[in-house]
Chain A
Amino acid sequence: MTPQSPFLVVASVAAGREAGLRALLAEMNSAPGVVDPDNPVLPFGRFERVHFARLMVLDQTTMADLSLYGVSPPDLGLRLVLLGDCDGPARTLLDELAAGAEDGLRRLFGHCEGFDPGTGLAAWLHAHSRPTQANYVNWLGRTVCQIHEESALQRFLSARVPRMPVASGEARRRRRELIEAARAEQRAGRLRLSAPQPAPLGWWLGNLAHALGVPLLALLVSPMLLLAAPWFVWRLRSLERSDPEHCPPPEAGHLRALRELEDRGLTNQFTAVGPVKPGAFRHALVPVLLLAIDWGARHIFHRGHLARVQTIHFARWVVLDGGARVLFCSNYDGIHEAYMDDFINKVAWGLNLIFSNGVGWPRTDWLVARGARREGCFKKYQRAHQVPSQVWYDAYPGVTLNDMRRNRRIREGLEQGEMGEDQALAWLRLL
């Protein structure tokens, strides 16, 4: 099993270089929101380990909302962000990018502070890498290669299966014929089904330590937590009553810029960023919650669904600028409006848990209730905090998570030995 990892590089854009950078990013696209996978700057399509990636110019957007608390926002300047999800370790991917797209990356980061022609590219990328505090992977271990191979298998079998009723007792024979045909394709080199790689021992040990370590830590501090609980609840409730809610409608131009990039294919990207509420309480709570979310995503929700939501490929929460703001990114199937529908109707509690610590979030109760359930307010809030990704890459447009789940079952059925008649019929019906 090859585990997936997030990569993230953040650099400050040098003064006066914004316009040039935006023009360069636009050059990478064949249309707004549609990257050319073979573009000369950063040809994502040539890096077979990359699932999704995006490049964006991150401005200060909603930092000004801190003034709701009478706090003057820090000047964070403009950032160039490169982030994505890959098979295997992120560190070696950055090395591969540096080696395989050196000129383009130099052109990109040449717009950033402290980058000059003499800078060692790989070392720069590592030095500007930022950790991802919480990361969600829809199906741990499913590689880009596997997705493509299983999709090709499904296309081959679906085109070949006779679309007629299967006479009683005929399902096993028909399945065998299809398997034979697939095997012949494999032998001819037209279909490939690579065997999964074993998980690296180091990763396996680290994962186990994480799986046990976090609950153990929780257990150790639980007596203190128990003691602090009444104070915590009192403090939370009083903040929930006094924290200002701020959901003005997003500006028309901002909305247009976001929509221009959306709903062009089956899968979309989402990025939102916002300041954390001032005060020690929220700033202490955020890392704890992110640790819990990360643990849940890594050890519980890594088999096709994040609670009830089955349409998120990858998602991550990143603390930026020393905890001043949190960045959320995801890749999801379906239209934006349906994604928001899922957020409100299926996992509002989960969103509230973390995002209610952000300035202006719709009012919550007990950290999980209301909040995102307040539909109109939430929809305005999320749009106002959303930021456009100038460049977005998807390694498998046209393949949704539900397609992948079906394709995996088709492959499993192909590789399984003899089946009973009912089982063979069920397999044929997947096609």
Chain B
Amino acid sequence: MTTTTPRPVELDDVQGLLRFGYSHHTEACFLLLRVKDPAAARAWLAQAPVTTAVEAKPVPATAMQVAISGPGLAALGIPDDLAAGFSEEFLAGMAGDEDRSRRLGDLDSSHPSNWAWGAGDAVPHVLLLLYALPGHLADWRRSLEAELASGFTLQAELDTADLAGREPFGFRDGLSQPEVDWERRRPVEDRDRLEYGNLTCLGEFLLGYPNEYGLYTDRPLLDPGRDPGVLLPRAEDRPELADLGRNGSYLVLRELRQDVAGLWRWLAQQAGGDLDRARDWAEAMVGRKLDGRSRIPGARGLNGFDYAADPEGLHCPFGAHIRRANPRNADYPAGTRGILARVRRFLGFDAGALPQDLVASTRFHRILRRGRAFGTPPVPEQALAEPPPTAGTGLHFICLGANIGRQFEFVQSAWIQGTRFAGLPGEGDPLLGHRLPGPDGAPSDCFSIPRADGPDQRLCGLPHFVEVRGGGYFFLPGIRALRYMTRPR
């Protein structure tokens, strides 16, 4: 454990998205760019007005964030040996190989070969995220596009919609977020946590700081000879080296098309037209009520709960989307107190605790979500009316983290797609599951709702409600790292 006061975070070197969701900026648009002229592209990026994590009063009318993909680094002329210091997942890319797609559940109609962007030659080089207060996006975006034309081609523009805090299926969204330890209050140490908590080490989201293991995640560290102008900060753990990763993060973007009408119609049909029951099932599938309230009795507010009091999934089914995405458990099963109890559980001798110990400790698998909805989803009542609305709607899922493999990919493959999550009998996520049969041909398209007075209720034959239309891994650099990478040479 360190006793010295840790260096404060250089907020002016951190992109604002790590600290803010830009919720006042209800207009947003994400530009996917390909580098056309590397020198011109670098020159533009070198002076790009990137908004930092320093709190501004009043809030700025517009905010821009910049992220670069693995192929983008090469396209901008970043030397390979320097890029090699980034994580393997980032360099390989979300659609880099079949094995990754299989693990992420990007199969069937969600397979990268069906994507609108992000696979093969269609990996964007640079991602520009534009956020604006109401009325400020359109003109700004037009003038930016004109500026960008010399260095980039505009591959695609992802428009977003302001659904007033809801996601397209109609549920309140974005309620659960880890609390990032900006003040660096958590000691740098490797110690078991006996309780689920929301406060998460800075290093889980920001490169260059200690993570939940008390360690620094790998990132490109440079010989100071490669940074003669001292543009880059020095590494905290290795002060003799320049830190290209510090204050940066990885950004995961996925375009998820949601079949809103499909979900509500299917549920209504299963419920024999009983809309209250259909809503109840939808809420069980999500794990929250439509208005965002937890299904766990005694929850404090929208986010003050865990599942220790619901070990049988009677209130929130094990398979519910939010229970999978964030199981809210600690390093040991609930109720571990005292030396003897811990020793017994440490060795696995507490038979009662073992069934509660099937899910990995949550704190190593948190993600910071920054997604935005798109399209004009019908409200549930509309979704049930004829004819079904056809316009595309869904979520531009965005999450940030310092370790794509341990955070986004783990959550997506072990928890969301895992058909035996928490001991379930064989079913994927009720919203995001790929629905393909298992290796023995057993179906994975059911959803189990446990009840105290009988065998689980089971909804089977769930259709595909969410389809992946594109996606990519990006590096969201610190401001100095961005200037370093795009400096004139």
Contacts and interface: CB of A to CB of B under 8 A. Distances in A.
B447 to A, nearest CB: 12
Given A341-B364, A342-B360, A334 B414 contact: yes
B420 A337 contact: no
A370 B214 CA distance: 11
Nearest to B100: A259
B467 interface: no
B425 A337 contact: no
A163 B439 contact: no
A337 B413 contact: yes
A428 B451 CA distance: 11
A397 B99 contact: no
B397 interface: no
B409 interface: yes
A402 B97 CA distance: 31
A323 interface: no
Nearest to A308: B348
Given A308-B348, A333-B420, A262 B99 contact: yes
Interface stretch (B175-183, B238-246, B271-279, B452-460): B452-460
A151 B107 CA distance: 28
Interface in A382-420: 397-400, 402-403, 406
B318 to A, nearest CB: 12
A83 to B, nearest CB: 22
Given A163-B457, A341-B360, 9 more contacts: A158-B455, A260-B99, A338-B418, A373-B213, A375-B211, A376-B215, A398-B438, A428-B454, A429-B456
Contacts of B357: 308, 310
A334 B455 contact: no
Contacts of B364: 341, 345
Interface of B: 88, 92, 97, 99-100, 102-103, 190, 211, 213, 215, 217-218, 331, 345-348, 354, 357-358, 360-361, 364, 405-406, 409-410, 413-414, 418-420, 423, 425, 438-442, 450-451, 453-458
Interface of A: 158, 161-166, 249, 252, 255-256, 259-260, 262-266, 301, 304-310, 333-335, 337-338, 341-342, 345, 370, 373-376, 397-400, 402-403, 406, 425, 428-429, 431
Contacts of A397: 438-440
B358 A307 contact: no
B272 to A, nearest CB: 14
A163 B455 contact: yes
A400 B442 contact: no
A376 B217 CA distance: 7
A225 B387 CA distance: 82
A266 B426 CA distance: 10
Given A252-B88, A266-B419, A429-B455, A345 B99 contact: no
A161 B438 CA distance: 22
Contacts of B455: 158, 161-163, 428-429, 431
Contact of A400 (B213, B405, B420, B457): B420
Contacts of B425: 158, 403, 406
A263 B103 contact: yes
B454 A429 contact: yes
Give 10 closest A-B pairs by Cβ, nearest first.
A398-B440, A265-B439, A397-B439, A305-B348, A259-B99, A166-B454, A338-B414, A165-B453, A308-B348, A165-B454
Contact of B190 (A266, A373, A402): A373
Residue of B100, B217, B360 ringed by the most chain A CB atoms within 10 A? B360
